[in-house]
């Protein structure tokens, strides 16, 4: 199936929408006796322990959340090659285990990035040149024991360079991190909708990864245009059960990647995830529909989306007022990521200041360094807000005018009950101070990028959501990613949002510590 046959994506998107009717009719239940393992475990590969003493980095989180977006640096500048300790820090802050909590039934492992259902189905692979402390090779990162496992010996970066149609982001990068999802680890709970979650959860992970690598001065850039089969073969993925998500180039060397060794088939034994796996053909079908065949198609795909014009404002405008620099919290990125969680109850009696909200939006929406956006002001997303309790801002529905750095009031009113209903009938979005919805005009995205654009829009939604999490925790309030009734969200924000689809939802506000049983 061609990437340009976009009816496939529209069919998948429609079939995986939540509605009042679909939720009531669902007979799905969680079979905890068949719950999949949270990690990909290789049976016979030796662990290469990663150093757990990282280089110090005091960059404040609110500075590091959105690394500066710039064009790929031409070869010949200063070289930037991470050593093993720097790479270890990036992997830890992206996908590592940050906290452990014991309870009567066992142990809960908290990860660096938020993930739907705490079902961490995203794996990271490192494809590298010779580094200080690490030989050239293809490695899998195991968060469970904080170690690498070598899948291939030698420098295989050129395989990814060719698969991307010689992306200028990848050609001179000494390290490329690839991400992939094992579908069943998330589909156990979310069924066919889990393919969306590949990019939601991949997005929140990449929000951390881009921030961590950026804070190490490695100028990370996200690449979504690549020939899937070549990448998945290099990583030894099972195409029936796993799919590649994205590539991230880190660092710079003067010489391009040399020709790679021949890519042989990997036959590596993996521990079974659970007693049995339930197959959801719609996931594989959507992945196949959005695959690129070769480097030539990847090269053609890579033509960034132009900056779109903002619609004419019809409501009152509220320019953002981010905190003045002396007032901006200075807690380091590393500390915020370690402390971050998902808020389980919001304090309905506490509000946010308009300066806090302004800082949140400003820092989370400064652009993504990637191959599908033209500039820092370009985006595949439109942000809509339901504001319940922000000082100096009338409660109501808003549209974020990104390039004007202001909020446009679409409709005033108290919408706590509506927000709870839109968030799948949950209490969290009703009690939060506000909710941020990332929407996308899929018709224009698919027209420009084909089915692959669906992946890009969902991933950008996840990255934006991940940055909102970090910006909230950096300011000492909380966040929680939520699912939603798709069409009801669009209807709520219409006519302004007519024809758009929801990519991500984050509820934000102060945690209700009393409700959580915490000391006030």
Under DSSP, is residue 513 helix (H, G, I), strand (E, B) or coil? coil
Measured distance between the N- and C-terminal CA atoms of the chain, rounded to whole angstroms: 57
DSSP strands (E only) in 89-170:
97-103, 106-111, 122-128, 137-142, 147-153
Q: Where are the beta strands (DSSP E) in 320-471?
A: 352-353, 382-387, 390-391, 396-401, 406-412, 434-440
Q: What are phi and psi of 359, to 5 degrees?
A: -65, -40
Is 237 within 8 Å of 184 (Cβ atoms)? no
pLDDT at residue number 55 = 79
- Phi (first) and psi of residue 155, to 5 degrees: -90, 105
Check: CB of residue 69 under 8 Å from CB of residue 376.
yes
Facing residues of 400 across strands?
407
Nearest to 22 by CA among 485, 439, 404: 485
Q: Checking phi first, is residue 217 left (phi over 0); if not, alpha (psi -120 to 50) or beta? A: left
Position 69 scores a pLDDT of: 57
Under 8 Å between Cβ of 140 and 123: yes
The packing angle between helices 84-95 and 194-215, to 10°, is 140
In whole angstroms, give the CA distance from residue 459 to residue 463: 6
Tell me the C-alpha to C-alpha distance, in Å, between residue 311 and each of 258, 320, 412, 441. 48, 18, 19, 13
pLDDT score of 515: 64
Q: Which residues contact 254 (CB under 8 A, 6 or more apart)?
A: 75, 76, 79, 172
Could you tell me the domains of the chain?
32-51+77-262 (3.40.109.10), 317-509 (3.40.109.10)
CB 16 within 8 A of CB 196: yes
Relative to beta strand 106-111, strand 48-49 is: unpaired
Locus of tokens 């990019």: 199
In this predicted model, what pLDDT tens digit does every residue of 395-442 receive, in sequence order?
999 999 999 999 999 999 999 999 999 999 999 999 999 999 999 999
In which element (H, E) is residue 332 found? none
Beta strand segments in 241-368, E: 242-250, 317-319, 352-353
What tokens appear for 321 in the block?
A: 């007022």
Cα-based distances in Å from 327 to 57, 68, 105, 322: 21, 21, 44, 10
Angle, nearest 10°, between helix axes 452-474 and 354-364? Answer: 140
Q: Which two tokens stand for residue 442?
A: 């899929």
pLDDT at 1: 66
pLDDT of residue 78: 72
Helix intervals (H) in 178-302: 184-190, 194-215, 228-235, 281-289, 295-301
Task: Please report how the helices 452-474 and 194-215 are oriented relative to each other, as an axis angle in degrees rounded to 10.
Answer: 50
pLDDT at 57: 86
In contact, 250 and 208? CB cutoff 8 Å: no
Q: Give pLDDT tens digits for 225-254.
A: 999 999 999 999 999 999 999 999 999 998
User: How far apart, in Å, are the Cα atoms of 345 and each of 18, 244, 358?
Assistant: 23, 34, 23
Is residue 483 within 8 Å of 26, Cβ to Cβ? Answer: no
pLDDT value of position 518:
46
Per-residue pLDDT tens listing for the chain (520 residues): 689 999 999 999 999 999 999 989 999 999 999 999 999 999 999 999 999 988 778 999 999 998 765 555 555 567 899 999 999 999 999 999 999 888 776 788 899 999 999 999 999 999 999 999 999 999 999 999 999 999 999 999 999 999 999 999 999 999 999 999 999 999 999 999 999 999 999 999 999 999 999 999 999 999 999 999 999 999 999 999 999 999 999 999 989 999 999 999 999 999 999 999 999 999 999 999 999 999 999 998 887 767 778 889 999 999 999 999 889 999 999 999 999 988 999 999 999 999 999 999 999 999 999 999 988 778 999 999 999 999 999 999 999 999 999 999 999 999 999 999 999 999 999 999 999 999 999 999 999 999 999 999 999 999 999 999 999 999 999 999 999 999 999 999 999 999 999 999 999 999 997 665 443 3
């Amino acid at each position: 199936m061609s990437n340009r046959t976009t009816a496939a994506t529209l069919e998948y998107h429609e079939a995986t929408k939540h509605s009042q009717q679909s939720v009531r009719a669902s007979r799905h239940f969680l079979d905890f006796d068949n719950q999949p393992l949270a990690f990909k475990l290789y049976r016979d590969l030796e662990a290469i322990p990663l150093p757990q003493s990282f280089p110090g980095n005091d960059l404040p989180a609110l500075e590091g959340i959105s690394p500066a977006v710039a064009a790929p640096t031409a070869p010949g500048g200063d070289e930037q090659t991470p050593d093993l300790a720097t790479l270890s820090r990036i992997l830890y802050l992206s996908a590592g285990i940050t906290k452990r909590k014991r309870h009567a039934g066992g142990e809960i492992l908290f990860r660096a990035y938020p993930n739907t259902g705490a079902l961490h189905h995203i794996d990271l692979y490192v494809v590298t040149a010779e580094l200080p402390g690490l030989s050239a090779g293809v490695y899998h990162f195991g968060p469970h024991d904080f170690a690498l496992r070598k899948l291939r010996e030698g420098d295989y970066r050129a395989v990814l360079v060719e698969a991307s149609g010689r992306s200028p982001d990848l050609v001179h990068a000494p390290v490329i991190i690839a991400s992939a999802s094992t579908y069943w680890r998330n589909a156990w709970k979310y069924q066919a909708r889990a393919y969306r979650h590949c990019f939601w959860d991949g997005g929140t992970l990449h929000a951390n990864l881009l921030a961590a690598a950026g804070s190490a001065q490695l100028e990370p850039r996200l690449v979504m245009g690549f020939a899937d089969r070549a990448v998945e073969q290099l990583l030894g993925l099972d195409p029936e059960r796993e799919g590649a998500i994205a590539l991230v180039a880190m660092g710079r060397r003067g010489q391009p990647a040399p020709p790679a060794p021949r890519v042989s088939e990997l036959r590596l034994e993996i521990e079974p995830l659970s007693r049995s796996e339930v197959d959801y053909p719609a996931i594989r079908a959507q992945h196949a529909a959005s695959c690129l065949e070769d480097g030539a198609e990847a090269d053609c795909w890579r033509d960034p989306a132009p900056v779109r014009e903002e619609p004419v404002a019809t409501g009152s405008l509220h320019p953002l007022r981010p905190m003045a620099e002396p007032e901006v919290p200075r807690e380091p990125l590393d500390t915020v990521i370690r402390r971050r969680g998902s808020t389980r109850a919001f304090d309905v009696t506490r509000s946010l200041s308009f300066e806090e909200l302004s800082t949140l939006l400003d820092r989370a929406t400064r652009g993504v360094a990637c191959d599908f956006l033209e500039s820092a002001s370009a985006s595949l997303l439109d942000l809509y807000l339901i504001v319940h309790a922000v000082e100096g801002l009338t409660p109501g529905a808003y549209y974020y005018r990104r390039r004007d750095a202001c909020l446009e009031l679409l409709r005033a009113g108290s919408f706590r009950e509506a927000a709870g209903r839109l968030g799948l009938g949950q209490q969290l979005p009703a009690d939060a101070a506000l909710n941020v919805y990332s929407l996308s005009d899929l018709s224009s995205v698919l027209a420009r990028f084909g089915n692959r654009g669906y992946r890009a829009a969902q991933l950008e939604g996840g990255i934006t959501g991940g940055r909102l999490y970090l910006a909230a925790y950096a300011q000492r309030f909380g966040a929680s990613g939520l699912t939603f009734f798709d069409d009801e969200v669009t209807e709520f924000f219409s006519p302004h949002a007519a024809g758009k689809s929801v990519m991500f939802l984050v509820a934000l506000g102060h945690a209700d510590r009393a409700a959580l049983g915490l000391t006030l």
